């Protein structure tokens, strides 16, 4: 166990999702004590926390609705009561709408923006001052390649994640002099950690991805684990795709 990591704490939102679970496990295995936020899937997170405990790690479930300001406040208060402090914030929780913009309702717009953009902003604004005071902190925002170019049906989602990218850059510049780094990770198509590692032969539909396969949640989690480490102290304000090279290519016909 890394001695430095064993003294760190992290709040991971959306810890019950495939990617959230993978990141929670990766950080816990590094010795970091994690608060595992969820909204609905309590049984999944309870099992994850129990599995981490069985393996000698520390993970604590935290329930809350990030779509409302009071919900954000409650999650922060519960995490602080369990951890004592939050050194690492991973904004992973998110909503998703798969339809053209002209078919998107006002309610869908409001909820997605609340969960995917406003909640990360409030969490960063609330937890960053203590990181600044301690002179150390890591914030990782989970973005998407949908923020780097239009993906059919994901216009609203891409708008929210584009906002996350700018939020990342703005906070990074303001917090950099205080030992706090802020980065965003932008995964492409990613299979959950409980599925087999993807092989190109199993995904012929990935012919436009230079790597010829989807990513795996454990690959994203491993990169996040690096970004929260001391070795990544000079990396901040970046939006880093993990997409097998897809965002580096131009559409056919260009």
What are the residue numbers of the active site? 157
Residue pointed to by tokens 């056919």? 252
Give 170's contacts (C-beta < 8 A, 6+ positions apart). none
Write out the two tokens for 107.
């309610």
Asked if 155 and 215 touch (Cβ cutoff 8 Å), the reply is no
Q: Which residues on adjacent β-strands are paired with residue 190?
A: 215
Write out the two tokens for 243.
């997409």
The DSSP secondary structure of the chain, one letter per residue, reads --HHHHT-EEEETTTTSHHHHHHHHHHHHTT-EEEEEESS-HHHHHHHHHHHHHTT--EEEEE--TTSHHHHHHHHHHHHHHHSS-SEEEE-------S-GGG--HHHHHHHHIIIIIHHHHHHHHHHHHHHHHT-EEEEEE--GGGTS--TT-HHHHHHHHHHHHHHHHHHHHHGGGTEEEEEEEE-SEE-TTSPPP-GGG-GGGTTSTTSS-EEHHHHHHHHHHHTSGGGTT--S-EEEESTTGGGSPPTT-
């Amino acid at each position: 166990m890394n001695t430095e990591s064993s003294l760190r704490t992290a709040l991971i939102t959306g810890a019950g999702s495939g990617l959230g679970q993978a990141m929670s496990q990766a950080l816990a295995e590094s010795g970091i004590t994690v608060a595992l936020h969820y909204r609905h899937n309590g049984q999944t997170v309870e099992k994850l926390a129990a599995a981490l405990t069985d393996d000698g790690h520390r993970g604590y479930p935290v329930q809350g609705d990030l779509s409302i300001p009071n919900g954000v406040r409650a999650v922060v208060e519960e995490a602080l009561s369990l951890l004592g402090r939050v050194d690492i914030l991973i904004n992973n929780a998110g909503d998703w709408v798969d339809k053209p913009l002209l078919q998107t309702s006002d309610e869908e717009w409001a909820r997605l923006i609340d969960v995917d953009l406003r909640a990360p902003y409030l969490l960063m604004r609330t937890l960053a001052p203590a990181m600044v005071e301690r002179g150390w902190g890591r914030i990782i925002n989970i973005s998407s390649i949908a923020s780097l170019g239009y993906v059919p049906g994901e216009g609203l989602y891409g708008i929210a994640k584009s906002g996350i990218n700018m939020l990342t850059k703005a906070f990074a510049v303001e917090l950099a002099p205080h030992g706090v780094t802020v980065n965003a990770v932008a995964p492409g198509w990613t299979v959950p950690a409980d599925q087999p590692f993807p092989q190109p032969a199993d995904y012929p539909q990935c012919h436009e991805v230079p790597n010829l396969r989807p990513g795996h949640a454990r690959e994203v989690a491993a990169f996040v684990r690096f970004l929260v480490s001391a070795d990544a102290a000079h990396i901040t304000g970046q939006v880093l795709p993990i997409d097998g090279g897809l965002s580096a290519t131009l559409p056919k016909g260009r």
